[in-house]
Amino acid sequence: MVLSFLNCTSSQTRHRPLTHSSLSSIHSTGRPLISSAACILQPEDKEQKGGGDIAVRTVFFFLPLPTMASAQAMPISVWEKLTEAPEDAILGVTVAYNKDPNPVKLNLGVGAYRTDEGKPLVLEVVRQAEARLVADRSRYKEYLPIVGLAAFNKLSKELAFGADHPAVVANRITTVQGLSGTGSLRVGAEFMGQHYHTPIIYVPVPTWGNHNKIFPKAGLKVQSYRYYDPATRGLNFTGMMEDLKAAPDGAIILLHVCAHNPTGVDPLPEQWDAIRQLIRAKGQFPFFDSAYQGFASGDLDADAYALRSFAADGGELALAQSYAKNMGLYGERVGALSMVCATAAAAKLVEGQLKLVIRPMYSSPPLHGAAIVATVLSEEKLLHDWKAELKGMADRIIEMRHKLYDALLQRGTPGDWTHILKQIGMFTFTGLTKPQVDFMREKYHVYMTGDGRISMAGLSTATVPHLVNAIDDAVRNIA
Ligand code: KET
């Protein structure tokens, strides 16, 4: 056992391992040493040649020592050589925020809805659905099938595409339950990596950071297409079209269904139509990420425009759906992966292969969240109330946009802030620079992602003035 106490060393001596024999000469009982231990100090080698004596000093420490028999070697982990992992660019913001003791702190990092009192929200319809589920003694906790809860899958498909959508009616869509949006993307990516002929995916610049990590895990090469124009703080439609045109035929194209994260910038319907025609002409494969259906406009159907138009032209596509935001089920991890296929027969084959992906990954998905969603979506009254609550969340976010914009205007903060009003969904892509973001965190305890994205859903009437102070100071004094 190598017992080395730094406080035993001195400039003249170096510490030596405490061996069995030296230990027994100090303490021959063989019993654990509880509150003190001896440290053997030997003179440097050259002095030792001159016959230096062994010095024994007692140092105090407070951990019980193991018995003599086990005092062989300090444990050395096989993981010692690992490098320290960085925190996640989005979820790490919450980690830093939680450590900050300052009471004025404000978390605008993660996209999670807060009430105007700054509190997380469990939707009333979710509470009602849960109460019913708990009260129902006929319910069990049996494993779900590999593809998840059948009612949930059917209703999720209908929510995304519309119950009377031709692809739904023709059974051309296979839907499997997933572990929220991320898990659904991951399973879809794995399937594409295994079975699709062109394993290259194009993602917008910028995009949700995790896209760049999920797809390579499935063996897909990630490339990018222009999307956001910092000059106009809007869509770079020309750049996007040029890049899609230049991308290989057959490449996979990642598209955000609505409320693009992090920019809050969506194509207009006519732009979507042009994008769709180009993607179809090039035989490319659209892979949609739908994490904010209902959050953009407050209307579930309006927000599904892009997705439904792609599904209506007879072509194939993939869709990863999340209920984290629109039903507030973040931690329940509820989502779905849908594969729209050209034929019902192909959809069946795809489902079989998806099962082969899922079974060795996590076997089958969790029951509770899916049962909540299925309950809400299957009952007219709950569905109606959910839509009202969803609209309420979307409206509060829009109200925050106006409050922030008006307050910046009133303050005379330099710059054009109209993009706060124009951008859509949970986030504003402020245009604040990394040094400004760091400054606001240091001085004002305002937390956001390094790219200057703020979650409007984390803002409230009471915290707008604090954010305006921070932005105003940052814009005036930090480059
Ligand atoms: N897609 C997009 C575009 C997205 O913004 C998120 C989450 C997800 C998928 C995945 O969500 P899930 O919880 O797996 O259903 N975005 C927020 C949270 C996060 O980064 O995990 C965010 O951007 O803050």
Q: Is the pLDDT confidence value at 33 over 60?
A: no
Contact by Cβ (8 Å): 244, 275? yes
- 3-state SS assignment for residue 202: strand
Q: Does 218 lie in the same domain as 366?
A: yes
Strands 446-447 and 228-229: unpaired
DSSP letter, residue 304: G
> Structure tokens of 243?
């890049």
Helix, strand, coil content of the chain in percent (nearest 5) = 45, 15, 40
Q: What is the pLDDT of residues 230-255, one digit of tens each?
A: 999 999 999 999 999 999 999 999 99
Indicate whether 223 belongs to any domain.
yes
Q: Are 321 and 155 in contact (CB under 8 A)?
A: no
Please tell me the predicted confidence (pLDDT) of residue 256.
Answer: 98
Domain at 231, CATH number: 3.40.640.10
Catalytic residues: 208, 289, 325
Name which residue sits closest to atom 22 of ligand 1, judged by CA: 111
417 shares a domain with 361: no
222/302 same-domain check:
yes
330 shares its domain with 265: yes
In ligand 1, the atom with minimum distance to the C-alpha of 262 is 23
Q: What domain range includes position 415?
A: 90-121+395-477
Which atom of ligand 1 is the closest one to the Cα of 90? 20
Residues 225 and 340 in one domain: yes
Average pLDDT, integer, range 118-135: 97
Residues in CB range of 135: below 8 A, 6 or more apart = none
436 in the same domain as 290: no
- Asked if residue 434 and residue 344 are part of one domain, the reply reads no
Number of structural domains found in the chain: 2
CATH code at position 453: 3.90.1150.10
Q: How far apart are CA 474 and CA 472, in angstroms?
A: 5
Confidence band of 124 (pLDDT split at 50, 70, 90): very high
Distance separating alpha carbons of residues 16 and 401, to the nearest angstrom: 66
Q: Are residues 294 and 182 in the same domain?
A: yes
pLDDT band at 259 (very low <50, low <70, confident <90, very high): very high
Helices 380-411 & 124-135, crossing angle to 10 degrees? 150
Question: Do 253 and 286 touch, CB atoms closer than 8 A?
Answer: yes
Residue 37 lies inside a defined structural domain of this protein: no
Q: Of all helices (H) and strands (E), which one includes residue 224?
A: strand 221-226
Q: Is the pLDDT of residue 57 over 80?
A: no
Beta strand spans in 230-331 (E): 234-235, 252-256, 285-290, 317-322
Mean of all residue pLDDT scores within the chain: 88
| Ligand 1, CB within 6 Å, residue ranges | 90, 110-111, 180-182, 208, 210, 256, 261, 289, 291, 322, 324, 330, 335
Read off the pLDDT band of 31 (50, 70, 90).
Answer: very low
The Å distance, Cα 57 to ligand 1 centre, comes to 58
Residue 161 domain-assigned?
yes
What's the number of CA atoms in the CB half-sphere (13 Å) around residue 168?
Answer: 15
Q: Do 202 and 262 belong to one domain?
A: yes
The ligand 1 atom at the shortest distance from the C-alpha of residue 324 is 15
Contact between residue 257 and residue 326 where contact means Cβ atoms under 8 Å apart: no
How much is the average pLDDT of 36-40? 38
